[in-house]
Amino acid sequence: MWTYAYHPRVPEKIRTAFQKFGLAKDEFTDNGHWPRQLYVREARRMVSDYVMTEKNCRRLEIVPDSVGMGAYNMDSHNIQRYITAEGYVRNEGDVQIGSRPYPISYRSIRPREEECSNLLVPICLSASHIAYGSIRMEPVFMVLGQSAATAAVQAIEQNVSLQSIDSAKLKARLLADNQMLDFESPPAPAVRSIQKTDLPGIIVDDSEAQLAGFDSQGHTTPGFIGSGYRHDGGVGDGQQKARFIPALPTTGRYLVSIAYSALANRASNVPVIIHHTEGDTQVIVDQKQKPQGKNNLHPIGTYNFNSGSKHSVEITNTATNGHVIIDAVQFLEVR
């Protein structure tokens, strides 16, 4: 905030606007109106006998010694914002992965016994970066704090280390205190997808394309063909390419359509190059706009092709201004 208000690199208009802001006059009055503690989203964490990971958050691995549950998405905010060589602003580092309510292991909130036998860690617990992005919610910390206190009392009463308490007694006490240790939530509704066999013509899916880049995969926006789609993550301008090569049964004219799902963060200037009998034709596609054809297919013209695999359609992210989606290309013979 000080930088916005006073740094000479900031335009004067912005500095003037931010100089009107200040600290809340009715808060922290005995400390110059400054909060005494910064919010630390993620810091150093313990490594114990059990590390919570993405497998837990996706319920691919269920722990037997639950002391509470997490449910929030696995998310990580952007690390930086930078400007590409073409002058576009890009965000780097954002991750958003859905979770289902999942149990958190008691072993992840207490250290290895050889390291410490009288410590419980409900906040900086043993978890990977991506799992901690889900666990780090304040209600979860409250739940784990209550369970940690219960475990500490039982260690005192049983006169054992925290690693040696009776797990059955801990579970019984937590359940008696109405602590929710696990429940099988219904899976998320299946996202609508389209199978190649349900479409006419020759379909080349993104999984069959020749790729340079386009490593990021998605399957959350409905209407994709096959098992999902790929995107460039909004990075690597000009360095990511996908070539769709059909095995055409006959020589002739084919209507070419590309499949993509439209969203506001998509690029409005996606270059698509059709390599056909007469040469190369480039078409610019606005992926912010809904495809004009059925099944998320957007027609980009009719061209002559020879039979076999002599020709192709290429999609790149050269000088694009948003995320570029590649899903599939359809070649429909025109008779």
User: In whole numbers, what is the pLDDT of the chain averaged over residues?
Assistant: 93
103-112, 140-149, 160-169, 236-245: the lowest-pLDDT one: 236-245
Distance CA 218, CA 295 (A): 17
For residue 200, give both structure tokens: 């006419």
- The number of beta carbons lying within 10 Å of the beta carbon of residue 202 is 18
pLDDT tier for residue 187 given thresholds of 50, 70 and 90: low
Count of the separate structural domains present in the chain: 3
72-86, 287-301, 309-323: the lowest-pLDDT one: 72-86
Mean pLDDT value of segment 175-192: 82
Are residues 212 and 322 both part of a single domain? yes
Range of the domain at 314: 193-333
| β 89-92/193-194 pair status | unpaired
Are residues 16 and 72 both part of a single domain? no
Q: Is the pLDDT of residue 88 over 80?
A: no
- Domain edge (last residue) among 143, 176, 209: 176
DSSP tag of 31: G
Select the more confidently predicted residue: 193 or 132. Answer: 132
Q: What is the pLDDT of residue 31?
A: 95
For residue 185, give both structure tokens: 């939530």
Q: What is the pLDDT of residue 99?
A: 84
Select the more confidently predicted residue: 217 or 260. Answer: 260
Are residues 172 and 197 both part of a single domain? no
In terms of phi and psi (left: phi > 0; alpha: psi -120 to 50; beta: otherwise), the region of 87 is left
Are residues 198 and 329 both part of a single domain? yes
Question: Considering the entire predicted model, what is its pTM?
Answer: 0.57
